[in-house]
Amino acid sequence: MPGLLAGLVLTLLAVVAYSWYIATRISSLRAVQTELTDRNRRDSLQLLRIQNDLNSLGLAMRDMLDPEEHYKLTAWSAQFRRIRTDLEDALKREQEAAVARRSPEQRQYLEDSLAQFWAASDRIFALAASGHEDDARAEIRLSLQARQAALNTAVARLLVQNNEAEEQTAQEVQNVYIAVQRRVYLFLAATLAVIAATGLYLMRYNRRLFARLAALGDERRGLAQQILTAREGTLQDISRELHDEFGQLLTAMGTMLGRAAKKAPPDSALAADLREIAGVAQTALDRVRGLSQTLHPSLLDDLGLDSTVEWYLSTVERQLGMDVAYERTGTPSRLDQMTAVHVYRVLQEAINNVARHAGTKQAWVRLHHDAAGLRLEVEDHGRGVGGNGRRGLGLITMRERADLVGGTIEFTTPAAGGTLIRFTVPARAGAAV
């Protein structure tokens, strides 16, 4: 203990000495970042906002000139007013954040161009309001679109200048970092011996800590098992209530509507209304049954995992418009109910991730059975999990489920890009009792 204390004291003294130096250098670096980098980025954000508004105006003018549009030009005046308000606010904020490199002439040009654009748009709407639609459309082609394109070019040029300024600032920051890095190397050399000595002591302490963490990990797995079991039980109860209560109610409603429709004159409005209501009731019944099966598919209990997977993927194709290629190989083995639920939930989460985040409507699902166990693969060629840095609750839950059945789950990138999720369940974990 005295050795550890002495090492800590020496380390703290070295840290204090070098921290003072580093703090002075970092303060100058912070000034550069605050005054130039951060301000330049805020300016770029406002310029992008202006550019987005200009693009919205361009789309609106395209619709105004579309011969298939039957609306009068004055119908777009409200949209123009809304965009004008947003543009004026964005321009004001951009002027507040603009760096000193921006010349007054550039600012004045942007303001004058916008003012001329709005004056021209006011004239066009005035022509349209007075009944001169053709003249107003001609003005849009000859004047307004050209002004919008010029504004887009001006904003794009300002964005390019901002990028160049940001690169220069980044170089200045890099030079400061290099200078600080050299001093840090000296600090590391001075403290390395102390750290090595204290590290030996910490290794002994960490052994006891890791043993405690292992015990906590076992407790966590037990708690996760209880939570997931309780969740599945709750979903099963809700699914049963939806199927039994609401399903029977909607079925009875459809039957009564059918009887009532038979009693009404066939060509009467009442009969048509009753048939329409019966159709709505049937649609609601189908949705309730679909939701019930999504929460807890009864097929999983009745027909097993393989049939449930085929049913689920067919509903995914209908509901999400996804093209899912499914391949099953090997001889299906009997799984205990909880393991089958875990495999099914991992498949659900993987497909939901493809639908929500991958940016693609095509996926491949492969289910393989062999003597070693079961392997589920879900592949897409979209953006990929690793590419966007997502670490959502769904991925954590999939890992928890794999851990609970003693299996493994991998998130890799296939050769064609995207994401490949491979969930492996050993035979001893999934065998039915």
Residue 351 or residue 197, greater confidence: 351
Note the pLDDT tens digit of each residue in 296-315: 666 677 778 888 888 888 88
Inter-axis angle of helices 247-263 and 269-295, nearest 10: 160
List the single range of 197-211, 235-249, 371-385, 396-410 with lowest mean pLDDT. 235-249
CATH of 2-198, one of 3.40.50, 1.20.120, 3.40.91, 1.25.40: 1.20.120
Of the CA atoms within 13 Å of residue 368, those in its CB half-sphere come to 11
Could you give the C-alpha distances from 399 to 31, 58, 342, 345, in angstroms and in order? 44, 47, 11, 11
Two tokens at 355?
């639908």
- In the chain, pLDDT over 70 holds for what percent of residues? 74
Average pLDDT across the chain, whole number:
78
Q: Do the bridges between strand 362-370 and strand 323-329 make them parallel or antiparallel, or are there none, so unpaired?
A: parallel
For tokens 């001006």, name the residue: 154
pLDDT higher than threshold 80 for residue 45: yes
Q: For residue 387, name the pLDDT band (cuts at 50, 70, 90).
A: very low
Could you give the C-alpha distances from 156 to 52, 241, 370, in angstroms and in order? 11, 58, 59
Highest mean pLDDT among 80-84, 179-183, 239-243: 80-84
Note the pLDDT tens digit of each residue in 104-124: 777 788 888 888 888 888 888
What is the per-residue pLDDT for 379? 93
Which of 343, 353, 350 is CA-nearest to residue 401?
A: 343
Mean pLDDT of 22-43: 72
Element (H, E) at 205: helix 145-241
For the chain, the structural domain boundaries read: 2-198, 222-291, 297-430
pLDDT higher than threshold 80 for residue 262: no
Residue 415 or residue 242, greater confidence: 415
Q: For residue 389, name the pLDDT band (cuts at 50, 70, 90).
A: very low
Q: Which fold has domain 297-430?
A: Heat Shock Protein 90 (3.30.565)
